[in-house]
Amino acid sequence: MRIIRRLLIWGVPAVLILGVIAGVIGWRIYEGARASNVGSLTFSNPLYVPPLLEPASDAQGRKVFDLTLEAGQTELIEGELTPTWGINGSHLSPVLRASRGDEVLINVHNGLDGESTTLHWHGMDLPALMDGGPHQLIRPGETWPATWTINQQAASLWFHPHPHGSTTDHVYRGIVGMFIIDDEDSKSLPIPRQYGVDDVPLIVQDKAFNDDGSLRKRRPPFASLGPLGDEILVNGTHDPYFEVRTTLVRFRLLNGSPARTYSFGFTDGRSFSVIASDSGLLESPVETDRVQLSPGERAEIVVSFTPGDEATLHSFGADLGQDFFTERLNGADDTFDILQIRASQQLDESSPLPEQLVSWTAPDAGEAVATRSFRLSGSSINGQRMDLTRVDEVVRAGSTEIWEVSTGGPHTFHIHLVRFLVLDVDGEPPPPLLGGWKDSVQLQPGRSYRLLVRFADYADPTSPFMFHCHILEHEDSGMMGQFILVDEEDDAPRSLPDPYGDGQED
Ligand code: C2O
Ligand code: CU
Ligand code: CU
């Protein structure tokens, strides 16, 4: 009797609780499988290669680019029209290209109806006022002239909107472009550089669609990363293939997705050479069969082909650390095709990659004048959410610092303006693919990353630069902070104006 009563008292709730837990886990696994259900492709559409935008030149010898942000409709998925945004077109942007030493003037016209936005030059070394962060708001109908002198090594940079709280939305709708920087090294080294032929940008983005073709932000339940699409677009092309005519081809990979991390490789297991990370060429090519990129990160890879060869670029399960729930959604099970590359029967022989690409003397960590610690968790950094009027860090212009970053979950730490070297991860030297200059680094839960950060000499005590998580919804929800560059500590202001404070904003 007593035993039966006990069983009823404890057993029924236990069964209920277990049932709920099983249900939640089952749903997560089901959604995880759906998330990875990008699946295999048939490769029926030629890859779109965004054109290079030819600059004009003005009386001061500047390279002038005119960009118009506009809304339109694009056939992203066969037979469907999707309302999208783009630059000088309805989706994505032409590619900008300039060389070290060039002075550029970029007129960014906001042709979007009723929406203010900004355009941020991700990875660019420039004054804060030209950075295009959340403070450089461009209202509808306005034109923002951004001008600076290119002052950094060759790299594959990119640009995207950065309005406070709406970055995910504006990027997801399609305003993304690549900015290629050249320098003496990149122009003289024997590396593939014929744009669109053996030097090809690959902007990889996942999207989901509603039945009427409109974009959908598909958020699997309990997922904390943000939207994870079930279709992959490369340069806006769904189900793409690309034909190559040379034995070596360089691909500039950009993860332009709001949340998803990719682990790029080829289905036949072939290896390739990574020649550049976010902020430029590595000292020497690193041979590998996988390169993992979290949102905002870039890598340049060189792949070799034989006549008639076919290779499928694929994303293998990404390694995000050890968060079980996240891993179900965008982790070890998240594997799918991205692009098929077809080699002609006749290939032009490319020169072999040099063993050494560039050389630099890494700044001595002993030169660092300050060490700061950042912990990313919840929707905040060091317990604080983004506040446009608060100055979080004051940094001496032209200095080198050590930034120590750690996290409770999978995040990607990005710092505007700078380039940095990963000094160590949990005290150990970084893996070879993290051996070059970076502006964004993927963080794994529970690990600690020491970054050696070079700050350029653009003191401006009234205009901040951002640092934030590049998982876009994390940034939008407040995982961002601001630093200013000063010549003298006393120059530091206590608070900044809020450009959104005039009621004109949504
Ligand atoms: Cu692409 Cu503030 O970043
Ligand atoms: Cu940036
Ligand atoms: Cu994050």
Mean pLDDT of the chain: 93
Q: Does the pLDDT value for residue 35 go beyond 70?
A: no
Lookup: tokens for 504: 């004109």
Q: Are strands 393-396 and 419-425 parallel, antiparallel or unpaired?
A: unpaired
Nearest one of 336, 286, 294 to 319, comparing CA atoms: 294
Q: Which residues pair with 396 in a beta bridge?
A: 486
The protein residue whose alpha carbon is closest to atom 1 in ligand 1 is 122
Atom of ligand 1 nearest to the CA of 158: 1
Secondary structure percentages of the chain, helix, strand, coil, to 5: 15, 40, 45
How far, in Å, CA of 307 to CA of 342, rounded? 9
How far is C-alpha 49 from the geometric centre of its chain's CA atoms? Answer: 19
Q: What is the pLDDT of residue 505?
A: 43
Q: May I ask the CATH architecture of the domain 365-491? A: Sandwich (2.60)
Domain ranges of the chain: 49-177, 365-491
pLDDT band at residue 9 under the 50/70/90 scheme? confident
Q: Which fold has domain 49-177?
A: Immunoglobulin-like (2.60.40)
* Ligand 3: centre distance to CA 340 (Å): 31
Atom of ligand 1 nearest to the CA of 133: 2
Tens of pLDDT along 101-157? 999 999 999 999 999 999 999 999 999 999 999 999 999 999 999 999 999 999 999
Q: How far is ligand 2, taken at its centre, from the CA of residue 42, in Å? A: 35
Gap from CA of 468 to ligand 1 centroid (Å):
8
308 Cβ partners below 8 Å, 6+ apart? 343, 344, 345
Report the Cα 380 to chain-centroid distance in Å: 20
Establish whether residue 466 lines the binding site of ligand 1, counting it when its CB lies within 6 angstroms of any ligand atom: yes
Q: Give pLDDT tens digits for 238-287.
A: 999 999 999 999 999 999 999 999 999 999 999 999 999 999 999 999 99
- Percent of the chain residues past pLDDT 70, beyond the cut: 93
Q: Which two tokens stand for residue 472?
A: 């876009």
pLDDT bucket at 407, cuts 50 / 70 / 90: very high
Three-point CA angle 50, 261, 91, nearest 5°? 25
Quick one: what percent of the chain has pLDDT higher than 90? 82
Identical topology for domains 49-177 and 365-491: yes
- pLDDT at residue 91 is higher than 90: yes
The pLDDT of residue 68 is above 90: yes
Of residues 330 and 435, which shows the higher confidence score?
Answer: 435
Distance 457 CA to ligand 2 centre (A): 17
Tell me how far the alpha carbon of residue 306 lies from the centroid of ligand 1, in angstroms.
38
DSSP 376-436: EETTEETTB---TTB--EEEETT-EEEEEEEESS-EEEEESS-EEEEEEETTBPPPGGGSS
Give pLDDT, residue 506. 41
pTM score above 0.85: yes
Res 16: pLDDT: 79
pLDDT grade for 37, boundaries at 50, 70 and 90: low
- Pocket of ligand 1 contains residue 456 by CB under 6 Å: no
The length of the chain is 506
Nearest-angstrom CA–CA distance, 200 and 235: 10
**CB 298 less than 6 A from any atom of ligand 1:** no
pLDDT for residue 504: 45
Give the tens place of pLDDT for each residue, 44-53: 999 999 999 9
Question: Which pLDDT score, from 0 to 100, does residue 31 have?
Answer: 53
Which atom belonging to ligand 1 lies closest to the Cα atom of 296? Answer: 1
* Cα three-residue angle 193-205-375, rounded to 5 degrees: 100
Ligand nearest to the CA of 296: 1
pLDDT at 290 over 50: yes
Please state the atom number of ligand 1 nearest to the C-alpha of residue 160: 1
Please give the structure tokens belonging to residue 81.
């029209």
Q: How far is the CA of 275 from the centre of ligand 2 (A)?
A: 21
User: Which residue type occupies 212?
Assistant: D
CA of 469 to the centre of ligand 1 (A): 8
State yes or no: pLDDT of 22 exceeds 80: no
Question: Which H or E element spans position 310?
Answer: strand 310-316
Pairing of strands 103-110, 63-74: parallel
Q: Which of 172-181, 327-336, 424-433 has the lowest mean pLDDT?
A: 327-336
**Residue 27 — pLDDT band, cuts 50, 70, 90?**
low
296 lines ligand 1 (CB under 6 A): yes
What is the DSSP secondary-structure string of 31-81? HHHHHTTT------EEPP-PPBPPPEE-TT--EEEEEEEEEEEE--STT--
Token readout for 121 is 């030059």
Comparing 10 with 62, the larger pLDDT belongs to 62
Contact in structure between 92 and 131 (CB atoms under 8 Å): no
* Beta carbons of 414 and 458 less than 8 angstroms apart: no
pLDDT of residue 492: 74
Does residue 162's CB lie within 6 angstroms of at least one atom of ligand 1?
yes
Q: Which residues face 341 on adjacent strands? A: 242, 311
- What's the 22 CA to ligand 2 centre distance in angstroms? 41
Q: Are 102 and 233 in contact (CB under 8 A)?
A: no
| Interatomic CA distance for residues 504 and 378, integer angstroms | 30
Which residue has better confidence, 493 or 486?
Answer: 486
Q: Which residues surround ligand 2, an ion (CB under 5 A)?
A: 122, 416
* Nearest Cα residue to atom 3 of ligand 1: 122
Ligand 1 within 6 A of CB of 91: no
User: Region 482-490: what's the mean pLDDT?
Assistant: 90
Q: Which candidate, 383, 135, 373, 123, places its Cα nearest to that of 254?
A: 123
Q: Per-residue pLDDT averaged across 66-89, rounded?
A: 97
Average pLDDT over residues 468-491: 94
